């Protein structure tokens, strides 16, 4: 103790030196650990970069930036998807309640009002309809109560039938023989067979495809107008099958007669989506017949009977 008292300054300096040496050692250890962790992380990044550089395609180099190109292509793809959606606008159901809930009273009133409106539009466009035609809703037209589980589907079909019919009215076809839809309600079981055909909607990862079969009579310019109307519509129409035959080969049918494909009145069968369709029946052009004087007949336009299957593409809501 006497020595410590005599050398107190030396002892204090020694203690401080030992403390500083300990702190320095701890600092060096932390720095070494930190450097080791950073070095390992650098090796991982270098390994990942080397692996990416050997992939095809690679991220690029100082001359080619594949990452930037990929981002630009993704932006272009998103813009294209947005533009494509403009051609698949959904058809509003009738009545359009904003929800899937439709009452029997609202649908009954909307159905009668819509049928009267379409009959008036056909008369304005000089399109002949079958007597008292109900546009495939003959079974529902006389009802006031409907299968509650099918009211939403019936409302959607009514809106789609109206849209398809208006394409024909805009083209001013000579007559509309009928439109056939798939059965979606137990009420359809008691309807006229001419209002339905044995098809069904198809759902994939992107959309629901609902087919309709339409039969009308017109001349060739109006047929082109109908196809152009479907092609330029903002809704997703796809004409899957087209059968054109001279209208003179068919006799007039009663309103309840069956005109489904595959019947004697329409020998070409309808095939479900995804199974392919037979090629359209070609009608040979009329041959020119010499006359007894004056101008010869080069083209003798005749009335055509057209049967087509048109599918409506309804995009599924994005998640």
| Residue 213: strand, helix, or coil | strand
Residues 156 and 20 in one domain: no
Range of the domain at 207: 104-251+259-269+302-315
Task: Looking at the structure, tell me whether residues 33 and 176 fall in a common domain.
Answer: no
pLDDT for residue 254: 38
In a domain, 89, yes or no: no
State how far the Cα of 298 lies from the Cα of 291, in Å rounded to an integer.
11
- Residue 165 counted as domain residue: yes
Of the candidates 267, 122, 134, the one whose C-alpha atom is nearest the C-alpha of residue 196 is 134
SS3 content of the chain, % helix, strand, coil (to 5): 45, 15, 40
**138 and 190 in contact (C-beta within 8 Å)?**
no
Whether residues 113 and 230 share a domain: the answer is yes
Cβ pair 125, 169 in contact under 8 A: yes
Residues 129 and 223 in one domain: yes
Question: What per-residue confidence (pLDDT) applies to 161?
Answer: 95
Q: Are residues 233 and 116 in the same domain?
A: yes
Domain membership flag for residue 1: no
Considering the domain boundaries, does residue 26 fall inside one?
Answer: yes
User: What is the end-to-end Cα distance of the chain in Å, rounded?
Assistant: 83
As a whole number of angstroms, the distance between CA 168 and CA 230 comes to 9
Clarify whether residues 14 and 145 are in a common domain.
no
Asked whether residue 77 is domain-assigned, the answer is no
Residue 136 φ/ψ region, left for φ over 0, alpha for ψ in the -120 to 50 degree band, beta for the rest? left
Given the structure tokens 């080791």, which residue do they identify?
36
One domain for residues 42 and 108 = no
Tell me whether residue 82 is in a domain. no
Same domain, 22 and 163: no
Short-list 204, 221, 220, CA closest to 315: 204
Q: Mutual orientation of helices 151-171 and 220-232 as an angle, nearest 10°?
A: 130
In a shared domain, residues 30 and 163:
no
pLDDT at 172: 94
Whether 231 and 149 map to the same domain: the answer is yes
Regarding whether 22 and 138 lie in a shared domain, the answer is no
Full-model pTM = 0.64
CATH number at residue 231: 3.30.70.60
Q: How far is CA 252 from the centre of its chain?
A: 36
Are 307 and 160 part of one and the same domain? Answer: yes
* E-state strands within 98-225: 175-180, 202-203, 207-218
Query: Which tokens in the block code for residue 137?
Result: 């809703």
- Residue-wise pLDDT tens for the chain (319 aa)? 676 666 677 767 777 778 777 777 777 777 777 888 888 888 888 787 777 666 666 666 666 677 777 888 888 888 877 777 777 888 999 988 877 788 999 999 999 999 999 999 999 999 999 999 999 999 998 888 888 888 999 999 999 999 999 999 999 999 999 999 999 988 888 778 889 988 888 988 888 999 999 999 999 999 999 999 999 998 889 998 899 999 876 654 434 444 444 433 444 444 444 444 444 444 455 555 554 555 555 556 789 999 999 999 988 876 6
Strands 175-180 and 202-203: unpaired
282 located within any domain: no
Specify the DSSP element, H or E, that contains 120. Answer: helix 104-124
Residue for token pair 């839809």: 181
Half-sphere exposure (CA, 13 Å, Cβ side) for 261? 26
Domain membership flag for residue 290: no
User: How many folded domains does the chain comprise?
Assistant: 2
């Amino acid at each position: 103790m006497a020595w410590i008292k005599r050398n107190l300054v030396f002892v204090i300096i020694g203690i401080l030196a030992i403390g500083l040496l300990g702190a320095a050692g701890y600092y060096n250890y932390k720095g070494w650990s930190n450097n080791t962790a950073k070095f390992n992380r650098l090796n991982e990044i270098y390994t990942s970069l080397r692996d990416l550089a050997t992939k095809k395609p690679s991220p690029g180099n100082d001359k080619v930036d594949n990452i930037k190109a990929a981002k630009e292509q993704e932006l272009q793809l998103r813009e294209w998807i947005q533009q494509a959606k403009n051609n698949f606008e959904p058809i509003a159901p009738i009545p359009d309640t904003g929800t899937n809930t439709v009452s029997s009273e609202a649908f009954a009133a909307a159905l009668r009002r819509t049928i009267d409106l379409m009959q008036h539009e056909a008369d304005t466009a000089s399109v002949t309809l079958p007597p008292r035609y109900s546009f495939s809703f003959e079974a529902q037209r006389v009802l006031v109560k409907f299968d509650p589980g099918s009211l939403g589907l019936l409302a959607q079909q009514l809106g789609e039938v109206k849209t398809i019919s208006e394409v024909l009215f805009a083209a001013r076809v000579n007559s509309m023989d009928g439109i056939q839809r798939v059965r979606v309600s137990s009420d359809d079981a008691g309807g006229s067979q001419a209002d339905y055909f044995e098809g069904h909607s198809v759902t994939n990862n992107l959309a629901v495809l609902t087919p309709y079969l339409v039969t009308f009579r017109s001349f060739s310019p109006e047929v082109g107008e109908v196809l152009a109307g479907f092609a330029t519509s903002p809704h997703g129409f796809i004409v899957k099958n087209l059968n054109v035959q001279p209208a003179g080969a068919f006799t007039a049918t009663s309103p309840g007669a069956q005109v489904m494909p595959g019947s004697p009145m329409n020998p070409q069968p309808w095939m479900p989506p995804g199974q392919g369709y037979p090629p359209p029946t070609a009608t040979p052009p009329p041959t020119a017949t010499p006359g007894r004087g004056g101008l010869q007949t080069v083209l003798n336009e005749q009335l055509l009977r057209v049967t087509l299957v048109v599918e409506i593409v309804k995009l599924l809501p994005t998640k």
